[in-house]
């Protein structure tokens, strides 16, 4: 993945807390090198409404919890060469899966009807429907590289990105752990 053309990098935020994106921003001096070699084409850090074509690498944070997450994951997969699940929520479904033992209808009623101080109603307008379970990204689409951690260590993210930019296979042993 070396050469003059900038690598097209996307990031996505599914059902996560943004902590994985914070870790991405915490790679310190690598950010300077990335500016030279990478074009950030999609994600919460840039203002691009549609997922672009021919993305080289995508880092995806969060579990797949809603129809919207599912569609975005499928779009990303169809337009991306190397798809990376970033963090425990994407890798195992982690925190979002804590709701999996509760039926969706019961969960929503507890939160928005029984738990409401005023105007009890389950929001539907512009809110993608929840899937029955929050699931790992790899249950929905093929994932090429997993970076576990909650959040994943900035050093692990930096290693993966620099390895890919240098055309090498990332070796994450010793750099990552769950939790
Ligand atoms: S893995 Fe941890 S830091 Fe990342 S989105 Fe999930 S809870 Fe947040």
**Structural domain contains residue 30:** yes
**Structural domain contains residue 171:** no
**Structural domain contains residue 175:** no
> Residues of the chain whose pLDDT is less than 50?
2
Number of domains, the chain: 1
Q: Which of 87, 92, 157 to mutate to test the pocket of ligand 1 (most atoms within 8 A of CB)?
A: 87
**Structural domain contains residue 63:** yes
Q: Which of 13, 17, 97 to mutate to test the pocket of ligand 1 (most atoms within 8 A of CB)?
A: 17
What pLDDT is recorded for position 4? 66
**Structural domain contains residue 103:** no
What pLDDT is recorded for position 1? 55
Listing DSSP states for the chain in one string gives: --SSSPEEEEEEESBS-SHHHHHHHT-TTHHHHHHHHEEEEESTTS--SSPPSSEEEEEEESBEEEHHHHHHHHHHHHHEEEEEEESHHHHH-TGGGGGTTS-HHHHHHIIIIIT-SSS-----TT-PPEEEEEE-GGGTS--SEEE--SSPPHHHHHHHHHHHHTT-----TTT----
**Structural domain contains residue 111:** no
Query: Of ligand 1's atoms, which has the minimum distance to the CA of residue 23?
Result: 3
Helix axes 30-37, 154-165, angle to 10 degrees: 30
Q: Determine the Cα–Cα distance for residues 177 and 129; give it in Å rounded to an integer.
A: 32
Residue 148 tokens read as 């576990």
Domain CATH number, residue 149: 3.40.50.700
Range of the domain at 32: 7-98+133-165
**Structural domain contains residue 127:** no
Distances, alpha carbon 132 to alpha carbons 37, 93, 94, 100, in Å: 40, 13, 15, 7
**Structural domain contains residue 149:** yes
**Which residues does ligand 1 sit against, CB inside 6 Å?**
16-17, 19-20, 61-62, 87-89, 94-95, 150-151
């Amino acid at each position: 993945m070396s050469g003059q053309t900038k690598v097209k990098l996307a990031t996505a935020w599914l059902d996560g807390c943004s902590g994985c994106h914070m870790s991405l921003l915490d790679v310190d001096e690598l950010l300077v090198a990335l500016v030279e070699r990478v074009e950030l084409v999609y994600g919460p850090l840039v203002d691009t409404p549609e997922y672009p074509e021919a993305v080289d690498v995508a880092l995806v944070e969060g579990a797949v919890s809603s129809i919207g997450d599912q569609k975005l994951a499928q779009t990303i997969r169809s337009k991306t060469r190397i798809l990376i699940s970033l963090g425990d929520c994407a890798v195992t479904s982690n925190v979002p899966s804590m709701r999996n033992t509760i039926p969706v209808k019961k969960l929503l009623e507890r939160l928005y009807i029984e738990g409401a101080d005023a105007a009890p109603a389950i929001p539907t307008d512009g809110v993608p429907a929840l899937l029955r379970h929050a699931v790992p990204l790899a249950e929905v689409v093929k994932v090429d590289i997993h970076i576990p951690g909650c959040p994943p260590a900035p050093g692990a993210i930096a290693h993966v990105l620099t390895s890919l930019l240098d055309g090498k296979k990332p070796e994450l042993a010793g750099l990552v752990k769950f939790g």
